[in-house]
Chains A and B, each alone.
Chain A
Amino acid sequence: MWSVLASISLVACGASSDEVRGLVRDSPLDVSMLAVTDVTSQGAYSDHVGEFRFMAREGNLLVVYFGYTNCPDLCPTTLAELRSARKRLGDDGARVDLAMVTVDPERDSPEVMNGFLASFTDQFHALRPSTSDELGDAEDAFLASSSISRSPSGEIEVSHTANAYVVDDTGRVVVEWPFGHGVDSMENDLRILLGG
């Protein structure tokens, strides 16, 4: 079912003269075996069945982001940058999908997640871990982390790895964008990875 397309041109294999600006590991992280509960109820991928596995659709790229919807700065900024980058790609923008894993499933109901993500793109996967293990396993695979704590004044503080991960259709992380890389970098890298 999930055939590994070894000859895929999506991976930046050095054939292009441009370089990706994001971070590339010598040994790409393999996240294909990870699965998270999929609560997507609107948009292009609301017809999903079962859990979501971290793998782009054939010929596409999947941008994965760990965040939460009550996030005022990091998350909307990153997703807005991605939205702009996809726009700049024109038709190729449709080959870039978004998956967001909430690190705050308690407050992020499926309804909230879908509304939140729909503000940025129609092609999204709303992923809401059912257990803390499910979240932990997914984070471990991406070498990410998060924690939720309550401040002395009673406010909830969430910390999370603010990178965005680009996954190809073999389930490998081909590039990572630490927060702050910006629209230009995203556009640059996506163009290269899409083999344009």
Chain B
Amino acid sequence: MLVSRSVVWRSATVLAVASMALTACGGGESNDEAGIRSTEELPEETVAGESRVEVTGAWARTSPSMTTAGAAYMSIVVPEDDALIDVSVDPSVAAMAQIHETVMVSSDTSTMGTTSMDSNPMGGAMTMQEVDHIDLRGGELLELKPGGYHIMLMELTTPLEAGATFALTLSFENAGDVVVSVEVREDAP
């Protein structure tokens, strides 16, 4: 369930204006591969010490030849309960980005054309589906990784090639937009 916070952000003075373009303004880039760039300077009084979204290890797999779908993964820690509600990418990278989750399909759900064998314990089908949002607990690590949550990039404009980086914007309900630098690699870091 989405959690609405009322304490931290509204206690600041010019928050009503700044909140529209609120970004996690870190002291600088973290020493991991992913960097967090603030897109706007925040007035000093609105920046609390721990109020910073941390995104580390952001990477996307090189896209196989002839394919137009890609996936990005990363680790996220938010300072307090929040929700990842949207994600976007520049059109020069892909037409669209969505939050997806890879899940096992229960044998109860049958769709047209299913040939599932319920009696097979090892033959569980899996699927990747879009999710509306991901709830995050404050201080807890959320991992987007292969086989779990991931950012799906749809209709890649150009193939993702090893060594390239691109910007991905994560939108949080409370923390606002966070721009992440994603490194393209063949395998996980």
B129 at the interface (CB under 8 A from A): yes
How many A-B pairs have beta carbons closer than 8 Å: the answer is 127
Roughly how many angstroms separate A142 CA and B115 CA in the complex, as a whole number?
A: 12
Interface size class of B (residues with CB under 8 A): 35 or more
When distances are taken between beta carbons in the complex, the residues of chain A under 8 Å from B129 are 151, 157
Which residue from chain B places its CB closest to the CB of A135 in the assembled complex?
B115
For A73, give its contact among B113, B152, B186 (CB under 8 Å). B152
B186 touches A80 (CB 8 A): yes
Q: Which of B60-91 contact A (CB under 8 A)?
A: 61-71
Known pairs A73-B71, A73-B102, A136-B115; A176 contacts B122 (CB<8 A): yes
B27 at the interface (CB under 8 A from A): no
Give, as a whole number of angstroms, the nearest-CB distance from B164 to chain A.
15
Interface residues, chain B, CB within 8 Å of chain A?
61-71, 100, 102, 105, 110-117, 120, 122-130, 146-147, 150, 152-153, 186-187
Interface residues, chain A, CB within 8 Å of chain B?
23, 69-74, 76-77, 79-80, 83-84, 111-120, 132, 136, 139-140, 142-149, 151, 155, 157-163, 176, 178-180
With A23-B122, A72-B128, A163-B123 known, 19 other A-B pairs at CB within 8 A are A69-B69, A71-B69, A73-B100, A73-B102, A74-B147, A76-B71, A77-B147, A80-B61, A113-B66, A139-B115, A140-B115, A145-B125, A147-B114, A149-B113, A151-B130, A161-B123, A161-B125, A162-B125, A180-B147
